[in-house]
Amino acid sequence: MNLKDFIRSIPDYPKKGILFRDITTLIKDENAFEECINQIIERSKDYKIDKIAAIESRGFVFASAVSYLLKKPFILFRKKNKLPADTYSVDFELEYGTATIEVHKDSIKKNDSVLIIDDLIATGGTAEAAAKLVEMSGGNVAAFIFAINLFDLNGSNNLIKKGYKVENLINFPGHWYFLLTLYEDRFPTIELNKPKNLLEYLTCIFLLKVDV
């Protein structure tokens, strides 16, 4: 089963130039969702794991299922002011703005090895903030596992450069015009820095049969 077949792509959402990868079409198919969880579990076997953590909110969908099947404690990284007890907080930049995530101070113990799961990695700002929360708590990041990696935004590569282990189930470009830059010689009339419209992108896909 190819999990890519179950991801819906929505151009120019949430802002122009972004090609949004929608996981709701994957999780609404019971067989695809099961396969996705099985693949995450298979990737996790390479790491020592004491606890599993996920980033609000779509990460909870995948991580809670993995936590249940592996019989590991499940830790929530939540948005600011969503957790009731004492927390550690980290501010970070998103591709669309800024945000804060938090974790309860009693969630992670010293030297806990924590697997962080999320649905998608783009620029990696959220993932780096999650790693900081683990480290502030005295734990260690065992690895990151992402269902989708938007490879042209370099978040996954940046985590690897910082010494983290990263696993990605699916690789997609995050900008719909990114593919055009790969085939500039085939489309010399396209203004690559300022793509005109989605039609040019669809033409690229149709003629070159590029997998997005």
Active site residue 8: no
CA quadruple 57, 59, 65, 68: dihedral sign = negative
Tokens of 193: 């820095």
| Measured CA angle at 89 (ends 20, 43), to 5 deg | 50
Catalytic residue among 56, 58, 186, 200: 58
Count Cβ atoms within 10 A of the Cβ of residue 13 and give its class: 0-12 exposed, 13-18 middle, 19 or more buried: exposed
Contact criterion met (CB below 8 Å) for 101 and 55? yes
Catalytic annotation present for 58: yes
**Set 34, 35, 43, 95: catalytic member:** 95
Catalytic residue list: 58, 95
